[in-house]
Amino acid sequence: MIGKLLSPLMPYILGAMVAGAAFMGFTIYVLKGEVADLTKDLATSQSNVETLKGTIKTQNKTIEGFQAQRQLDQKMLDALTISLNNAQAEKEKLAIQFDAYRGRLSDLARKKAGLIGRKATAATNKVFKDFEEATTDAGK
């Protein structure tokens, strides 16, 4: 009974099955091509990832070098800052001493003007004499 009903439709069913098989074959062919393209793309991407990993390692080493140099520079800067602070403290100490000596020298100059004048004249004359001897043929 089912055979009698299906027999007139059998060519259409077979045709549909052949068409379906052809469509499935074509679809498989197209998908295989896409899989091949995707496999190539994956290989390229993996190669790019490896290249980037190498680049990242190189950059990390460079950054580590910069960080080490920066730490060394900071230590040197700290040492220079300490030296500068010590030099400034010494300068201030010497400036206080110089001001005290200058005041005492001014007092001495007022009290003993002749003595200071003679000493200054003698020292100036000695400098000029030494200079003259150094620049003439007799000094050679």
The string of pLDDT tens digits covering residues 17-50 is 999 999 999 999 999 999 999 999 999 999 999 9
- How much is the pLDDT for 66? 97
User: Of 140 and 119, which is predicted with more confidence?
Assistant: 119
Task: Name the pTM for this structure.
Answer: 0.46
More confident residue, 28 or 99: 28
**Helix 10-111 and helix 113-135: axis angle, to 10°?**
120
Beta strands in the chain (DSSP E): none
pLDDT confidence bin for 121, thresholds 50/70/90: confident
Domain boundaries, the chain: 2-139
Q: d(Cα 117, Cα 111) in Å, to the nearest integer? A: 12
Q: Judge whether residue 140 has pLDDT over 80.
A: no
